[in-house]
Amino acid sequence: MTEVAPFTGYVYPNETIIPWGVLIVLYPYLTGLVAGAFTVSSFYHVFGMQQFKPVARFALLTSLSMMLFVPTPLLLHLGHAERSYYSMITPHLTSAFAMFGFFAAFYTVILLLEVWFVFRADNVKRSLRSTGLARIFYRAVTLWSDDLSPRARAIDAKWLLILAIVGIPSAHGLHGYIGFVYGSLKARQWWESDLMPIIFLFSAIVSGIALLMVLYVLSCKLRRVLLDHACLKGLTYALWGFLMFTIMLEGLEFANLVYKGKEGIDMIMVYVQGPLFWRYFVLQFGLGALLPVMLMSIMIALNTRGRVFVFGSTISALLVLMSVLLMRWNVVIGGQEISKTGKGLLTYPMSFFGQESFMSALILLIAPFILLWVLTRLFPPWVDRSGGM
């Protein structure tokens, strides 16, 4: 636990601790990337939007890489991580936190199965042309099957569609429950809102789309291949639309909070106009949300193409990723910086080293991308120029 000093007003001795630190900020950020990346994959596998085909399989690998690290911030945050399995064998069915393990396990299984069916045919081909350990690995991955018949491929496609359809509510429910947890906590005026689950869900979608835009552009540069303009344009349009709706929801939530004028609103307004002003209005809303919307609107209106479009879309996506991370910070940390009694404010001094520190959060943020690189080497997800997988 990290002790913090009051910023203004006064707080009681039992309020001088901010229990949820940077790792709990990272937890909803990673789950948001999971849900957002899976959404992009569903655009092609469920809804048949051909412009998303070049990144559909890559989106699945991205979602899987992030998902496998989602529980890690929670485990590091716990005092006794080795006891975490008790929530699975002795579940408290009325606790949203306790149900996370079941939600996460179910979605992970769905995601693993979908990845298996997507890459099954390609892995069979790799097992037939490989030798040594590589052949053993791919044979094991395909469960020692070499069936590439039209009937087998039809079964793959059928199960892929079923899993993708089931995965949509699973991925969105996994992240929506986090917003439900915060929105249902009446002890924190900054959190209690009926819109919180919806805001978390739509901010997750925009963060996942933005991440795939950045990764797709970067991967094309590293592989020295031409990127598909229709694909990047489709991602940009999707980001633009979902982002505008997300901004509207967050604006409505703040306006509703101010209009209701519940107990503690005076201290909230002091907080918003003071230490939160730059993080909330300037960086999260202004630089991270309104600026990307304006930039993408101009490019769409002018039908911008070529390097200018790639550069503008990438910058917009990076700003959105920053905005969503700040949103998570301003919700998790910001809600705790306002005392429960509404009489004073706290500050959160994040340590640089330690179990719950800047370095541990940075390592956890980088680790999924290392795993993603390994998975793309084992299971290349890219579509060739002829349109084949």
> Domains in the chain, ordered, with CATH?
6-378 (1.20.1630.10)
Nearest residue to 330 via CA among 377, 265, 283:
283
Name the H helices within 130-273.
Answer: 132-141, 150-183, 196-223, 229-260, 265-273
What SS3 string covers 296-334? Answer: HHHHHHCCCCHHHHHHHHHHHHHHHHHHHHHHHHHHHHH
Contact assessment for residue 18 and residue 333, using Cβ atoms and an 8 Å cutoff: yes
Residue type present at position 185: L
CA atoms of 212 and 7, how far apart (whole Å): 39
Whole-number pLDDT of residue 6: 46
Residue 110, helix vs strand vs coil: helix
Residue 184 phi/psi, 5° resolution? -95, 0
Residue 302, helix vs strand vs coil: coil
CA atoms of 39 and 33, how far apart (whole Å): 10
CA atoms of 18 and 277, how far apart (whole Å): 20
CA 230 to chain centre: 24
Q: What is the mean pLDDT of each run of 10 residues along the chain (389 residues)?
A: 50 74 91 91 90 93 94 84 78 75 88 93 90 91 89 91 90 80 75 83 93 95 91 95 92 82 72 83 92 95 91 96 93 82 77 86 94 94 60
Question: Burial, 80: exposed, middle or buried (Cβ in 10 Å; 0-12, 13-18, 19+)?
Answer: exposed
